[in-house]
Chains A and B, each alone.
Chain A
Amino acid sequence: MTGEEAPTPRDVAVVAFAQTEHRRSTEESSEVEMLMPVLHEVLARTGLKAADIGFTCSGSSDYLAGRAFSFTLALDGVGAWPPISESHVEADGAWALYEAWTKLLTTDADTALVYSYGTSSSGSIRDVLTRQLDPYYLAPLWPDAVALAALQAQALVDAGDTDETALAAVGARSRADATANPHAQLTGNVPQGDYVVRPLRTGDCPPVSDGAAAVILAAGERARELCERPAWIRGIDHRIEAHALGVRDLTDSPSARLAAEHAGAFERPVDTAELHAPFSSQEVILRKALRLDGSVRVNPSGGALAANPVMAAGLIRIGEAAARIHSGESDRALAHATSGPCLQQNLVAVLEGDPR
């Protein structure tokens, strides 16, 4: 700063959210066909048309579809004609939302459409995710996401932070809560099952999901025009950790804690938290790092243990948290998204409704 007072940044809010019914397989439809109803639904909630949107940003990964430039075809679903101001992150849609939030802060746009999607069913997701590891030393060994999460879970058990009974309770609670969520894939009394990789059992692991989600952001007065009770983004931040598991304390999530700090999550208590914790053990780690005690309603949607469409699951956490503010069920909510093996990269957003 040059001594002048920094101008107050404008307020940006989530004003609408839509998602698919997440399913084990969507092989009968293309990604565009999966996405289009969600885009129509989120626009309908605000009365906006594609041409009214100031900026569009999406998140996805070519590796899920098994082909390069898969997002270029998804753009067809948006109806980008006349041409639109648009960008894409090769990451969960939560990071697309972060890019859109930045764009709105510059005042270059007043509204943004954010969407993301993933079809885990196109291949074997456990194999596919090994390709995101260090390509020279780690990826050639093909350690899959469940095996890495199990290493993390075992470290947590060894540290005395949890045990298998407690982990089972996380899964059971998530799927019980998911019965109230019409979009969830795995709901109700799901058996804990056999070990997949010790100490994780089937019930500790996310379902393999295909799905999509979309959010509309708006700035300032525009948000109030489009939504009765906007979910204001009071802070949003993301941080990354080292990639190599050997240099990280797997029982902790310093990047989630740092992101939460920068997002202002610790300034006042939240009443709701939507955590992107695909494995039950990761909820234990995140609750600690994000200082969520028993008074906070965690994952009322059922979370990623009820539906985990990769690349959309993080954006869905923001959407679910915002939807609870829209409906008045929450006043201040924390939303979290993760990327990379064993919670390597984490994003935290703090959402608030206007005081009642």
Chain B
Amino acid sequence: MSKEPVAVVGIGQTRHVAARRDVSIAGLVREAAQRALRDAEVTWADVEAVVIGKAPDFFEGVMMPELYLADALGAVGKPMLRVHTAGSVGGSTALVAANLVAARVHGTVLTLAFEKQSESNAMWGLSLPIPFQQPLLAGAGGFFAPHVRAYIRRSGAPGTVGSLVAYKDRCNALKNPYAHLHEHDITLEKVQASPMLWDPIRYSETCPSSDGACAMVLTGRAGAARSPRPPAWLLGGAMRSEPTLFAGKDFVSPQAGKDCAADVYRQAGIADPRRDIDAVEMYVPFSWYEPMWLENLGFAAEGEGWKLTESGATALDGDLPVNMSGGVLSANPIGASGMIRFAEAALQVRGQAGAHQVEGARRVLGHAYGGGAQFFSMWLVGSEPPDS
């Protein structure tokens, strides 16, 4: 039995900001959903099922908020599925929705991910009570900084690479109307002069806390034929997980990330990702993760990722643009961040990315990770439908 080809025909985002005090959680998600439906020129009645994701419920202090959101998302009388795979959830949610179409369970599916961090405090939400976690491990930066240091030691990267990434991404964000941070006066010197938070991660090399939502309309071949704008076609998608902590774990380049990318490339017939993929929307919450993930995803040999960044290849006008939208460093509604990567990849191959469009982008990778760098979800989308 062959799978139904999956197409992205509608994309909607909210303008990501520190606090959306003008809307409830329901208002926030409905805004993104309505924009996606409008983009696809379909109505609520065309949506057969809703697949929704977000990072921990503790971030808003609401247990299983999808129950309360059923009305706002037009899901009453329909199937509504809730996904939660930590920071990778936005990507995983899109993949679960895509599977409903691929398996021909549903023809058209609305998928959405959100976070309204202003409703609560993510720092506390992530600071697990002892004895579940060692003391003095404050937030995500405290967890990831040692792994960044390990990368620098292992690769011999100069200390300036992290600030190059942050400066690039914040400049890209100026071209993206939905990005949270629009720092019009940003300079490389300002990034380098910002306070050190978790050595070697500086304040300007970290992601902001954002409120925001992202939605997509996914459909099959028939739905794509009715689409008023060019669809993005799913060429490959995969999830991989490994345990949080164990003796053999490589935190710098986790095996689950390598395996996930390899599965996506196999599905999409990608022999050489550096040559065959035109751009990447990558989950980079701390700047140093760009060179780290370039290696993990097979765009550079081990220890060489920072050279790609330093050469300018990953700039918007480089030959492998990374995070054209400004990335997680410029907007981080955590639960939505993975889906935003996936959606921005789709925008690029549809030619709909506006001022941050990469000319002629035909195959773009969307990437997300979560937990203790243990959950990965990725998809590769293209401007042409898959062969089979």
Contact = CB atoms under 8 A, between A and B. Distances in A.
Contacts of A258: 77
A294 interface: no
A232 to B, nearest CB: 16
A87 B239 contact: yes
A103 interface: yes
Interface stretch (B38-46, B96-104, B313-321): B96-104
Given A68-B125, A72-B372, 11 more contacts: A67-B128, A68-B59, A73-B132, A76-B243, A81-B246, A86-B241, A88-B84, A131-B63, A240-B75, A241-B76, A341-B67
B296 to A, nearest CB: 12
A165 interface: no
A66 B103 CA distance: 36
B371 A72 contact: yes
Contact of B71 (A61, A106, A243): A243
Nearest to A136: B24
A334 B100 CA distance: 22
Interface residues of B, number: 69
A210 B262 CA distance: 39
A227 interface: no
A244 B67 CA distance: 10
A9 interface: yes
A87 B85 contact: yes
Interface in A95-109: 95, 98-99, 102-103, 105-108
A99 B96 contact: yes
Given A82-B259, A340-B67, A240 B60 contact: no
A89 B86 CA distance: 11
A103 B75 CA distance: 22
A1 B99 contact: no
Instruction: Report the 8 A-B pairs with minimum CB-CB distance, sorted nearest first.
Output: A105-B103, A83-B256, A68-B56, A90-B84, A86-B241, A132-B63, A131-B63, A63-B63
B109 to A, nearest CB: 11
A7 B103 CA distance: 10
A36 interface: no
Nearest to B51: A99
Nearest to A66: B129
Nearest to A63: B63
A89 B128 contact: no
Interface of A: 1-2, 6-10, 56, 61-63, 66-69, 71-73, 75-76, 79-91, 95, 98-99, 102-103, 105-108, 128-129, 131-136, 139, 237-244, 254-255, 258, 339-341, 344-345
A102 B77 contact: no
A13 to B, nearest CB: 16
Contacts of B238: 85
Contacts of B65: 132, 135
B244 A240 contact: no
Given A9-B1, A89-B84, A132 B67 contact: yes
7 contacts: A10-B1, A83-B259, A84-B240, A87-B95, A102-B96, A238-B80, A340-B64
Nearest to B129: A67
B199 interface: no
A344 B239 CA distance: 30
A239 B304 CA distance: 50
Contacts of B221: 2
Interface in B57-85: 57-65, 67-71, 75-85
B374 interface: yes
Contact of A8 (B1, B69, B81): B1
B68 A133 contact: yes
Contact of A239 (B78, B95, B129): B78
Interface string B279-296: 000000000000000000
B100 A102 contact: yes
Contacts of B375: 72, 86
A209 to B, nearest CB: 18
A139 B256 CA distance: 39
Contacts of A90: 57, 64, 82-84
B64 A240 contact: no
Given A9-B1, A90-B84, A239-B77, A345 B243 contact: no
B62 A72 contact: no
A9 B63 contact: no
B310 to A, nearest CB: 30
A108 B371 CA distance: 24
A61 B79 contact: no
Contact of B79 (A76, A105, A237): A237
Nearest to A82: B255
B99 A80 contact: no
A67 B24 CA distance: 24
A86 B239 contact: yes
A107 B102 CA distance: 10
A66 B63 CA distance: 11
Interface string B88-100: 0000100110011
B94 to A, nearest CB: 12
Contacts of B59: 68
B132 A72 contact: no
A59 B349 CA distance: 34
B186 interface: no
A1 B4 CA distance: 10
Contact of B240 (A10, A83, A139, A243): A83
B5 to A, nearest CB: 11
B57 A61 contact: yes
A6 B2 CA distance: 10
A134 B3 contact: no
Nearest to A84: B241
B19 interface: no
Nearest to B259: A83
A129 B103 CA distance: 34
